[in-house]
Amino acid sequence: MSDSDLSSAVVWLVEDDADYRAAVEELVRANVHSVETFGSVEAVLARVAGIGAGTPEGGWPEVVLLDVNLPGVTGIEGLAELKARLPGSVVVMLTIRDDADTIYAALGAGASGYLLKSASPDELLGAIREARAGGMLMQRQVARLVLASFEARRPAPDYGLTKRETEVLAEMVEGHTQPQIADRLFVSLSTVNSHVQSIYAKLHVHNGSAAVAKAVRERLVESAV
């Protein structure tokens, strides 16, 4: 897709690393109408306050590229205030932070995109384009982190397994045979077999392999997490 559709865009960049800020500014400036750069959230807020009811020379930003690790007020801490002071703008995070908690915090605070600084020029311009159109863009790498985090936080289904049945299932996941499970749990082989049959019924499976596969896939026991 051509970047000509960005020719009227106004972008503000909030980044404290001068070298990276200059590199991003050069890339973006070549494709948009106007770029203005800042080293902190406080500098942006001061700029907005100084303009008052007027209009900045390049126009109000449609997209704000915002770092997370900024001096003073962090990007996430300042995100809501920036959106309140710049109601016509959408914010795209541009950061080295790739942990799920930071991603969730940014999206929860109203970010319209999340890119790592390793993003290619096409990905960065694509995020600006998508944000202007009202969409949200995340790199595949970031999306995978979010999905993995959702999976990790998703509660395991409740099949009504008793504590002892869960222990037996955990032993099965570890690869132990029924005689071994009996020895390890200090119960009779017939008791273990009874628990195993109950596990099959509750999980709606017909053999040990299917029970183990389901336990691992749905994180039914601790050892399968």
State the residue range of the domain holding 23: 3-153
Intra-chain end-to-end CA distance of the chain, in Å? 42
The predicted pLDDT at position 2 comes to 42
The predicted-structure confidence for 78-87, as pLDDT tens digits, reads as follows 998 999 999 8
Q: How far is CA 56 from the centre of its chain?
A: 33
**Final residue of a structural domain among 153, 181, 207:** 153
Domain shared by 108 and 141, yes or no: yes
My answer on whether 201 and 114 are in the same domain is no
What pLDDT score does 111 carry? 84
Instruction: Say if residues 156 and 133 touch (Cβ distance below 8 Å).
Output: no
Which residues in the chain land under pLDDT 50? 1-4, 223-225
Instruction: Give domain status of residue 158, yes or no.
Output: no
For residue 119, being part of any structural domain is answered with yes
Q: Which residues of 17-35 are buried (b: 16+ CB within 10 A; e: fewer)?
A: eeeebeebbeebeebbebb
Q: Check whether residue 122 and residue 170 sit in a common domain.
A: no
The number of domains in the chain is 2
The torsion region of residue 77 among left (phi > 0), alpha (psi -120 to 50) and beta comes to alpha
Structural domain contains residue 181: yes
> Does residue 51 belong to any structural domain of this protein?
yes
Give the burial string for 145-177 (b: 16+ CB within 10 Å, else e): beeeeeeeeeeeeebebeeebbbbbbbbbeebe
Could you give phi then psi for residue 138, rounded to 5 degrees?
Answer: -130, 140
- Residues 216, 121 share a domain: no
Question: What's the pLDDT at 1?
Answer: 39
| Statement to judge: residues 171 and 61 lie in one domain | no
**Token pair for 187:** 């119960």
pTM score = 0.64
What 3-state DSSP class applies to 109?
coil
> How many Å separate Cα 169 from the centre of its chain?
32
pLDDT of residue 149: 62
Contact 115, 139 (CB under 8 A): yes
What CATH number does residue 15 fall under?
3.40.50.2300
